[in-house]
Amino acid sequence: MHGLRVVQESGCEVIIVGKLRAGILGLNEQGLRLIEAAVETGLYEITAAADRDPEALQAVAEKYACGGFEDFRRFVVQNSLDAIFVAAGLHVCEEHVKVALKKRFHVLKMLPPALNCGQAAELLGVAQSEGVQYMVANRTRFCPGFERLKEYLETNDRGRIRLVTAWCYLPGLLDDARDRWLSDPQLAGGGVLLRNCYDLVDQIVLNFGIPQKVYALSTNNAPDRQQRLSLTEDTAVITMKYSDTLTASLIATRTFGPPQRYLRLHHADGYISVSEDSFVACDNRGKELERSNFDRVESESMLKMLTDFAAAITTHDKQKSEARRSIELDNMALIEAAYLSSRTSMPEEPGRILKIVGSEPSNIWTSAAKRII
Q: pTM for the complete prediction?
A: 0.92
Of 363 and 271, more confident: 271
Tell me which fold the domain 6-110 belongs to: Rossmann fold (3.40.50)
Q: Is residue 276 a contact partner of residue 302, using CB atoms and an 8 Å limit?
A: no
CA angle 67, 90, 219 (to 5 degrees): 140
Taking 70 as the threshold, does the pLDDT of residue 373 lie above it? no
Q: Is residue 204 a contact partner of residue 214, using CB atoms and an 8 Å limit?
A: no
Instruction: Check residue 221 and give its pLDDT.
Output: 84
Q: Specify whether the backbone of 172 is left (phi greater than 0), alpha (psi in -120 to 50) or beta.
A: left
CATH top-level class for 140-294+317-370?
alpha beta
Q: How confident is the model at residue 104 (pLDDT cuts 50, 70, 90)?
A: very high
Q: Is residue 163 a contact partner of residue 247, using CB atoms and an 8 Å limit?
A: yes
- Tell me how far apart the terminal alpha carbons of the chain are, to the nearest angstrom: 24
Taking 50 as the threshold, does the pLDDT of residue 281 lie above it? yes
Cα(285)–Cα(302) distance, integer angstroms: 36
* Positive/negative CA dihedral, 303, 308, 311, 312: negative
HEC assignment per residue over 137-160: ECHHHHCHHHHHHHHHHHHCCHHH
Cα(188)–Cα(108) distance, integer angstroms: 18
Name every residue whose Cβ is closer than 8 Å to that of residue 2 and which is 6 or more positions away in sequence.
Answer: 21, 80, 81, 82
Instruction: Check residue 18 and give its pLDDT.
Output: 82
State the average pLDDT for the chain.
92
Tell me whether strands 106-110 and 83-86 are parallel, antiparallel or unpaired: parallel
The mean pLDDT value for 256-277 works out to: 96
The mean pLDDT value for 196-205 works out to: 98
**Tens-place pLDDT, residues 294-325:** 999 999 999 999 999 999 999 888 899 999 99
Q: How confident is the model at residue 17 (pLDDT cuts 50, 70, 90)?
A: low
Buried b / exposed e over 80-92, threshold 16 CB at 10 Å, is ebbbbbbbbbbee
Per cent of the chain over pLDDT 90 is 84
Cα(120)–Cα(184) distance, integer angstroms: 19
For the CA atoms of 242, 244, 246, 247, what is the dihedral angle to 10 degrees?
A: 70
Q: Calculate the alpha carbon distances from 274 to 107, 253, 279, 325, 363 in Å.
A: 29, 19, 5, 25, 23
Q: How confident is the model at residue 228 (pLDDT cuts 50, 70, 90)?
A: confident
**Extents of the domains making up the chain:** 6-110, 140-294+317-370
Q: How confident is the model at residue 16 (pLDDT cuts 50, 70, 90)?
A: low
Taking 60 as the threshold, does the pLDDT of residue 26 lie above it? yes
**Tens-place pLDDT, residues 141-154:** 999 999 999 999 99
Q: How confident is the model at residue 180 (pLDDT cuts 50, 70, 90)?
A: confident
Instruction: Check residue 363 and give its pLDDT.
Output: 62
Q: How confident is the model at residue 15 (pLDDT cuts 50, 70, 90)?
A: low
Residue 287 — φ and ψ, nearest 5°?
-70, 125
